[in-house]
Amino acid sequence: MIENIISNENIIEREKNIFEKIILVVCMLSFIYIFNIFSKIGSEKSYLETTLFFIRSFNFILSLLAYGSCLISYYRLKKDSIFIISLMYLGLGVGIATGQIDFFSFYYEELTLFNYIRVSPSILRIVLLIIAIIPHCKIKKLIMNNKKYSITFVILYTIVFDILENNISIFNAFDNREFLVIYNVLLIIVYTTVSIRLFVIGRKEKEYLFLVISASIFMLGVKAMYTIGVVDASSFYSKLTSVSITYIICLIVISGSFFELYLYINRTKILNDNLSLFYNLADNNKDNFMYICDEDGNIIYANKKFKEYYKYYTEEDKKRLSLYFSVVQNNLKNKDEIMQSLNQKGDWRGIIKSLGNYMSVDCSIKTIEKSSNKLKYAVTYTDISEILKTELELEKLKVYNKEKTEFMSNISHELRTPINIFYSTIQLLDISLVKTDKDFRKIYEKYKRTLHVNCKRMLRLINNVVDISKIETGILKGKFDYYNLIAIVEDVTLSVVNYAKLKSINIQFDTNEEEFIMRCDPSMIERVLLNLLSNAIKFTPENKNIYVDICVNDDFAEIDIRDEGIGISQKDKNAIFERFVQADKSLTRENEGSGIGLSIVKSIVDLHDGYISVESEIGKGSTFKIILPHRCNKNIDYKIYDTSNYNTELELSDIYEVLI
């Protein structure tokens, strides 16, 4: 059905086949009729024979038209019962052509069974009607699977048994009026039953044609009743009346089929107008991709947007796209869920990512037809990649603003602490300055270290804020030159050993080479190492170890800083390198910090085209891994970098328990 609606080629081919068959039938009928006309020229026929020839020819044409009307209706409605009933009209037409019905009786004054009708072909017609009204009949399926053979069988059976009945004397015992009455009573019962059943089917299925055929079959019953009524008073008029009932039987089907066809044309016109409207809406839809395919992925229909996007114009394009969508279907993560929904509810709606995840679509799939044991699916989808991207960016912005707000709160807390210490120390110095009995120098010496530490702490915090601003604006640049990375790492590690010892923490350094020349900014590398070592000291309990290992080869250098501290949770591991993020965001946390140090560390490593990661387990410690690429020619001159105690003090300034 889908193919017939959307494929003009199929419609044209089907109309061509039907037209050719109609032309063939019309030509055959015309040839037979013309042949009969011209074959009678010059021959002397009696008045009776001439009349009967005309009646038989006209009746034969009507019966064939009735058969053709049923057959056309069958091809439109696809109702098995109509095809089988059409075979009954075909048998009736062949019987009329061979003179089996009505015409022998004109040569006899007395009506008997065999000069009125041939019983064997009549029984076949009765059987066909009974099969037509029986639901789920195996013989009906057999007939429908062998239509051409069924038509041939009806024609041959009607002709052969007409000859047999005419020449075998065994049937003579039944050739009397009593059997004629009995047989017509049987016909009345069968025709009336079939007529009522067809009427019920027509009302139930709301098919007008069944009602028409019901009336035609009922007239066959009326013909049988009339035969019983005139069996004892047979006359030429009664025989003509019986023939005229046959006319009516055929005319009812013909006129009813034409009227039903007229109704169908009107319904089809309205339907086609609606289909044309919806087809144009679908085909010209600029927002949605639409296509129809079978369960094998073969595309049957696609709208203009789909064709333009996928360059779908030729049969080769069709094969290519069918293969592509077959691959997409097989790679869907939720394929089973989709198929289950389609099988149970007939539709599915959800978000699908295409191959490569470069396109996200809001997809709707609906089962629309099952033919030839294959399902058809209507697929509609909209590209929502930009919408999702915008929503994701908006969500990230919300999170960023929230983290920035928390960062400002942390900064306020971090700044307030040293400022309060400044203020308290200044107040003590002011009081001491007033008192003359104490040496002011001794008092200043007592509080000088506190002032220095908090000055450095504030300066470190301000430097971090400035660097974050540079990173956000993309103006953070390094002063690159060639240096011995191993020497820098070793010197920075040694610069913090004394600070770690004050907390009873042992720092061990190890390397597999003594020299690794690379292009870098040594002050930035120093800052990265000091930040990681500062964190390691802060979060490692007393009497534990910190290990600094560097392993180099021809391609890269790997620096590992491993502690035996409190560790980092899986959730926090995924976020610690983000800006403004700190594992413990409470203002009452045990260790100070703004939560931007590791973000700066990552930015510096990225600036060196490197990579930083962390492995950690709660209660067992953490390992930070830095990988820096080796980009240096052999035997190149390099510079010496001297680490600064000032930088060390500045970076470790927030470890109060160590420095105060």
For 522-564, what is each residue's pLDDT tens digit?
988 988 898 899 889 888 988 899 999 999 988 889 999 999 9
Query: Which CATH number does the domain housing residue 606 bear?
Result: 3.30.565.10
302 and 253 share one domain:
no
Residue 652 counted as domain residue: yes
> Domain ends where: 316, 348, 383?
383
229 and 345 share one domain:
no
| Residue 548, beta-bridge partner list | 509, 561
The neighbour count for residue 126, using CB atoms within 10 Å, is 17
| Residue 291, beta-bridge partner list | 302, 379
492 and 529 share one domain:
yes
For residues 630 and 654, which has the higher predicted lDDT (pLDDT)?
630
216 and 326 share one domain:
no
Residue 377 counted as domain residue: yes
299 and 377 share one domain:
yes
Average pLDDT over residues 372-377: 74
Residue 613 counted as domain residue: yes
| 3-class DSSP state of 417 | helix
Query: Which CATH number does the domain housing residue 343 bear?
Result: 3.30.450.20
> Which band of pLDDT confidence, cut at 50, 70 and 90, is reported for residue 252?
confident
Query: Which CATH number does the domain housing residue 261 bear?
Result: 1.20.1070
Range of the domain at 367: 289-383
> Which band of pLDDT confidence, cut at 50, 70 and 90, is reported for residue 107?
low
Contacts of 548 by beta carbon, 8 Å cutoff, 6+ apart: 489, 493, 507, 508, 509, 510, 533, 559, 560, 561, 562
Q: Per-residue pLDDT tens for 573-608?
A: 877 887 655 544 443 344 444 456 788 888 889 888
636: which 2 tokens? Answer: 């190149």
> Domain ends where: 362, 383, 404?
383
157: which 2 tokens? Answer: 């059976």
Residue 303 counted as domain residue: yes
110: which 2 tokens? Answer: 């007395």
Residue 28 counted as domain residue: no
87 and 210 share one domain:
yes
For the chain, what is the domain count? 3
130 and 179 share one domain:
yes
What is the per-residue pLDDT for 238?
A: 72
* Residue 78, pLDDT above cutoff 50: yes
Residue holding tokens 């004394």?
A: 498
* Residue 453, pLDDT above cutoff 50: yes
Q: Per-residue pLDDT tens for 410-440?
A: 665 566 666 666 666 666 666 666 665 566 6
Annotate 516-540 with b (16+ C-beta within 10 A) or e (fewer).
bbbbbbbbbbbbbbbbbbbbbbbbb
> Domain ends where: 383, 402, 424?
383
pTM equals 0.46
Q: Per-residue pLDDT tens for 254-273?
A: 887 777 777 777 777 777 77
Annotate 215-250 with b (16+ C-beta within 10 A) or e (fewer).
bbbbbbbbbbbbbbeebeebeeebbeebbebbebbb
Q: Are 658 and 502 in contact (CB under 8 A)?
A: yes
| Residue 362, beta-bridge partner list | 351, 382
What is the per-residue pLDDT for 417?
A: 65
508 and 634 share one domain:
yes
Q: Are 643 and 493 in contact (CB under 8 A)?
A: no
Amino acid identity at 133: I
Strand 545-552 vs strand 289-294: parallel, antiparallel, or unpaired?
Answer: unpaired
What is the per-residue pLDDT for 563?
A: 93
319 and 203 share one domain:
no
* Residue 26, pLDDT above cutoff 50: yes
Q: Which segment, 111-125, 171-185, 603-617, is predicted with the most confidence on average?
A: 603-617
Residue 596 counted as domain residue: yes
533 and 570 share one domain:
yes
* Ramachandran region, residue 635 (left: φ > 0; alpha: ψ -120 to 50; beta: rest): left
Q: Per-residue pLDDT tens for 313-355?
A: 777 777 777 777 777 777 677 777 888 888 888 888 888 776 5
Percent of the chain with pLDDT over 90: 9
298 and 210 share one domain:
no
Average pLDDT over residues 232-251: 75
- Report the run of H or E that residue 484 belongs to, with start and end: strand 481-484
- Choose the weakest-confidence range: 12-26, 167-181, 187-201, 623-637: 12-26
Q: Per-residue pLDDT tens for 30-55?
A: 666 566 556 655 555 555 566 666 67
* Residue 16, pLDDT above cutoff 60: no
> Which band of pLDDT confidence, cut at 50, 70 and 90, is reported for residue 118?
confident
Residue 87 counted as domain residue: yes
505 and 370 share one domain:
no
Q: How many CA atoms lie within 13 A of 634 on its CB side?
A: 2
Residue 392 counted as domain residue: no
